Chains A and B, each alone.
Chain A
Amino acid sequence: MTQAPLPKAHVRCQLNGQPVEFLADQHMSLLEVLREVLDLTGTKEGCNDGNCGACTVSMDGRIVDSCLVLAPEVDGRTIETIEGMAPPGGLHPLQRSFLEEAALQCGICTPGFLISAKALLEREPDADEHRIRHWLAGNLCRCTGYDKIVRAVLRAETAMAPKAAAGRTRRKKSA
């Protein structure tokens, strides 16, 4: 404990479309940096060991648990968090469908689910219920029982690809 403190890591990355530069302890997680250094508290901590998905962010287009990424590792990377999801003044179709389907109760897991679901729909815009459930299994929700979350993702698929998906989703979705 008596040795001199380690120098901080100097990190540059793209964050929600903007270049960002920060200093962080070398052992800090991306989650800590987002919440404590950059004041982006939309990304939540639920377990700090990669088992709840509340801290999910996108890194170079892939979802990761930000609690399991070290701050210096994001140097040169592209990070997207919940704060960067909506267009200015609006909502992403998933954000809207989560509201319309009442897909959140307490809301603590919601940012993580939204980031995960967005990554899924960017890859598989017509993912079916099973695929959605599989993709979202790394995100725990304790309030909703997942029913309305899955419905919200299905609804967003329709909203994002109205022509292609309308007929199929109508069959899949509840009245």
Chain B
Amino acid sequence: MPTVFIAIPLRRLTGGQATVQVAGATLRQVIERLESSFPGIAERLVDPDDPDKLAVGLAAIVDGEATVLGLRQPLEPGSEVHFLPAIAGGASDRRRGCRRI
């Protein structure tokens, strides 16, 4: 089962849990299951305007590297998932005034 590392701002929603094991073959499935366990978490992770996209300014790091497929990113049973602020590379210009996590 993939392991999801819960960023500090979201731990309020997971009762303080820092990691959660969640079944799912894609990022979307994992987020859906997370939502059923921890209501409210999905809206912090998913773009309200486009259900295929991560929230603006957020990156999902899967097995060490950022996904480029958004919620469609396939996961392995042993995958590690981190939701982190987007690294933005040399491209920190495109940031929001307020992040969701």
A and B touching (Cβ–Cβ under 8 A): no
Interface residues of B (CB under 8 A from A): none
Interface residues of A (CB under 8 A from B): none
